[in-house]
Structure 1
Amino acid sequence: MYQPISFFIGFRYLWNTHLPKFKKIITILSIIGISISTTTLIIIISIINGSEENFKKNILSFLPHLIITNHNKYINKIEFPKDILKLNNFEKFSDFISKEVVVKSKNEITMAEVIGVDITNYDNVINYNIKDILEKLKPGKNNIIIGRELAKKINVNIGDKIQLILLSNKINSFSGNIFNQRIFKIISTFSTQNEVDYYQILMNKKDCLNFLDFSKNYITGWRVWLKDPLLLDFDKIKNSSNQLVLLDWTLQKGELFKAVKIEKYIMLFLFFLILLISSLHIFITLTVYTIEKKNTIAILKTQGLLNWKIILIFVIIGSSTAIIGNILGTIISITLIIQNDFLKYLIHIFFKEIDISIVIVPFQIFFINMISILLTILSTLYPSWNIIRLKPAKILSNE
């Protein structure tokens, strides 16, 4: 006697040499359907993971995750809210000097942002890829480093001098607004392949303080970096710093990140529908199967086979199809991701200038497989429950 009997019967119904060709094709199509849905789900979610990783690396690496200041953007260093340091997601912080100014060259004029640089925020300017930046920006020299795209915009080169104009908060009753203006020399440019190349100007912090006319120990605010900016609990931080102005990264890039998130959920929903259709296909197949095998099931019941073991037979048929399909789909997707030249080729057919990165998260692959198997098992319960409700005597009386 084959033990356990439910597994033996289930595997015999799933595949055997005497199975009609049509049923073999149906089984193969079910496996292929689940394989395709699993493959597409894993690949799509891995591509979106790569997009999020690029978003954090290329945009949030330059953009502070949280800015702490006041309404005047002029604050004493001693007012720093120390409760921020207790956050689980906290990584580092640094004070900063920053201000919007008017940039004037010989032929062009535009707006830009000046940023003071010294040893205290050196770690934050490493991303600009400038060698010996502190040596180049010595105090008192009025030297600056500007973004390469900004240099192109105002048509200047290294060695040229430009005028920075600051609108002061002081008001003269006779002449109106007082302008603070100074000539600075461009000693280098930076290129980060990021939007900061279009508007940022780096200068020594002491020169910046003098230019902006800041008092001693006064700064614009603090920049805070988190371990994972996507897990920023802004409301919790805001409650701990009621008297300060808190600006998080979502104010500048929130809409872009929301668009990425929405795209992720839409794609997952669409490919989840493919998985659902595959499960419905198994549901229909098993429903037909139970009708076809109702006499055999009735005989098994008269032989003393318990109802839960009969249900287990159909669960084995459906779940085996899902497991085989998931294994094939997972192997295919991981193979395509590791050897991603084929994927890049397909994407470049439609989007020639796009560069993709793919990030695999093992937990997500496990979750996709478990959901697929669970949906398949659920799709087998109704057909099997429906067949065990029938009375063996009623079924066999028609024979």
Structure 2
Amino acid sequence: MYHPIFIFIGLRYLWNSNLKKFKKFIIFLSIITITISISFLIIITAIINGVQENFKKNILSFIPHLVITNKDQYINKLEFPKNILKLNNIEKISPFIKKDIFIKSKYDITVAEIVGVNINNDKNIKNYNIKNISKILQPKKYNAIIGKELAKKLHVNIGDTIQLILLFDTTSPLTRKNIKTHTFKITSIFSTNNEVDYYQILIDQKDSKNFLNYSKNYVTGWRIWLKNPLFLEINKIKKLINPLILFDWKSKKGELFKAIQIEKYIMFFLFFLFLLVAFLNIFITFIIYTIEKQNTIAILKSQGLLDWKIILIFVTLGLITATIGSILGTVISISLILEKNFLNFLIHFFFNTNNISMIIIPYHVFFINITVILLAILSTLYPAWYSIKLKPYRILSHE
């Protein structure tokens, strides 16, 4: 006697030498559909993880996740809202000086953003990959480090001079705009392959204060970087810093992030529909089995096979089909991700894009597989319920 009996019967129904070719094809089709669906889901998830990681690394590492300031964007350091320290998601906080100005060279003029750099404390300098910054930016030397793309636009290079032009309102009754200019020498050019290369200029913090007429203890505000910038409790933070003003990274990059999220949900929805086809195959296959094997089920019931064991026969069929498909899909997808050449060729062929970053997160793979297996099991429950409702005496009375 084979134990447990429901597994033995389930395996016999799933595959045996006497099984008709059409039924073998249906089972094979169900497994292949699940395999393809899981492969695509894992690959798409890895691509989306890579896109989000690049978004955090290449964009969110250069712009602060939160900015705290007042309406004038000119605030005393003593007004720092200490309640913000209650948040567990904070990675680092630093005061900053920043201003939009005009920049002029011999050949062109454009709008740029100066950033006052404290070379001793500002941890974000490392993202710019600038060596010997303490020697390049020295107080009262009025040196500047300019972005690569901005330098191209202005047709300048290391050793050239640029003129920074500041427009500000006076306190006179006429609120007439005054202009302040100062010449800076370009001592280095940074390249981050990020949008800051197009508009940002780094100068010493003391030089920036002198140029902007900042008092000793005054700054533009505080920049905050979070451990997980994708998780923001804006309303909670606003209460902690009231009455100061809060800006978050979504105000600048929110639309781009939304586009990434929408693409992710659309891809998941499309492949979920593809996966649904696989479960419909399983469902239809088991309905056909139930109708065709009514006599067999009636005999098993008349011989004392309990209803729950009959249900487990169907569950076994669905579980094995989904498990085989899941294993094959996982192995194929991880192999393709680790060997990127083929995937990069396909992506370049269809989307004309190279070097797509892909990141495998184990619990995502586990979640996808468990979800698929559970859905496959659920697709067997109705055929199983239908089979246990059969009355053996009615079916066998004609035998």
TM-score normalised according to structure 2 size: 0.97
3-state DSSP class of the match of 1:139? coil
The 8 Å contact of residues 147 and 197 in structure 1, kept in 2 or not, is answered as: yes
Partner-residue secondary structure (3-state), 2:382: helix
Deviates more, 1:69-78 or 1:100-109: 100-109
- Inter-CA distance 368–145: structure 2 relative to 1 (3 Å threshold): same
Distance 1:199 1:103 in 2: 10
Helix, strand or coil for the counterpart of 1:274?
Answer: helix
Alignment partners' CA distance in 2, 1:318 and 1:91: 47
CA distance in 1: counterparts of 2:232 and 2:283, whole angstroms = 43
Q: Which aligned pairs between 1:356-371 and structure 2 lie closer than 5 A?
A: 356-371=356-371
Q: Is the Cα–Cα contact under 8 Å of residues 26 and 281 in structure 2 kept in the other structure?
A: no
What residue is the counterpart of 1:398 in the other structure? 398
Distance, in Å, in 2 between the alignment partners of 1:245 and 1:278 is: 52
Paired residue type of 2:195: E
1:14 aligns with 2:18: no
CA contact (8 A) 2:347 2:353 kept: no
1:22-63 superposed Cα distances (whole Å, 9 cap, x missing partner): 222221111111101111110111111100000000001101
User: Unpaired segments of 5 or more residues in structure 2?
Assistant: none
Counterpart of 1:46? 46
RMSD: 1.3
Could you tell me whether the CA contact under 8 Å between 1:101 and 1:167 is conserved in 2?
yes
For residues 352 and 366 of structure 2, what CA distance do their matches in structure 1 show? 32
1:264 to 1:174, Cα distance in 2 relative to 1, 3 A: closer
1:379 partner amino acid: S
Residue number in structure 2 paired with 1:347? 347
Write the distance in 2 (CA, Å) between the matches of 1:343 and 1:262: 22
Tell me if the contact between 2:119 and 2:204 (Cα under 8 Å) persists in the aligned partners. Answer: no
Matched position secondary structure for 1:188: strand
Q: Which residue of 1 aligns with 2:304?
A: 304
| Structure 1 residue 98: Cα displacement | 0.6
Q: What amino acid does structure 2 have at the position aligned with 1:279?
A: F
Mapped to 2, the partners of 1:174 and 1:222 lie a distance apart of: 32
Q: How many residues align?
A: 399
Per-residue deviation, 1:21: 2.0
Secondary structure at 2:188 match in 1:
strand
**Structure-1-length-normalised TM-score:** 0.97
1:330-341 residue pairs with structure 2 within 5 A?
A: 330-341=330-341
Query: Which letter does structure 2 place at the counterpart of 1:219?
Result: V
Deviates more, 1:52-61 or 1:371-380: 371-380
* Gap change, CA 1:48 and 1:17, over 3 Å in 2: same
1: distance between equivalents of 2:130 and 2:379? 60
C-alpha displacement of 1:351: 3.2
Measure, in 2, the Cα distance between the counterparts of 1:382 and 1:197: 60
**Larger displacement relative to structure 2 (342-351 or 86-95):** 342-351
3-state SS in 2 of match to 1:308: helix
Q: Which moved more, 1:83-92 or 1:193-202?
A: 83-92
The 8 Å contact of residues 65 and 249 in structure 1, kept in 2 or not, is answered as: yes
- In the alignment, the residues of structure 1 paired with residue 172 and residue 240 of structure 2 have an alpha-carbon distance, to the nearest angstrom, of 39
Secondary structure of the equivalent of 1:116?
Answer: strand
3-state secondary structure, aligned to 1:230: coil
1:5 alignment partner AA: I
Q: Post-superposition shift, 1:275?
A: 0.9
Change in CA separation of 1:259 and 1:146 when aligned onto 2, cut-off 3 Å:
same
Aligned partner of residue 119 in structure 1, secondary structure: coil
In 1: Cα distance, 2:352 partner to 2:132 partner: 37
Name the CA distance, whole Å, in 2 between partners of 1:337 and 1:23. 33
In structure 1, the partner of 2:385 is: 385
For residues 340 and 109 of structure 1, the distance between their equivalents in structure 2, rounded to whole angstroms, comes to: 44
Distance 1:174 1:42, change over 3 A: closer
Letter in 1 for 2:65: H
Q: Kindly provide the amino acid, as one letter, of the partner of residue 390 in structure 1.
A: L
Distance 1:77 1:175 in 2: 27
- For residues 307-322 of structure 1, the aligned pairs below 5 Å read 307-322=307-322
| Deviation (angstroms), 1:89 | 0.6
Shift of 1:181: 1.1
C-alpha contact 2:280 2:379 (8 A) present in aligned 1: yes
Residues 171 and 177 of structure 1 are in contact (CA less than 8 Å); yes or no, is this contact kept in structure 2?
no
Whole-Å Cα distance in 1 between the matches of residues 200 and 3 of structure 2? 74
The whole-number CA distance in structure 1 between the counterparts of 2:219 and 2:175 is 28
Q: Report deviation, 1:119.
A: 3.1
Aligned-partner Cα distance in 2 for 1:17–1:205:
80
Which stretch of structure 1 is more off in the superposition, 351-360 or 315-324? 351-360
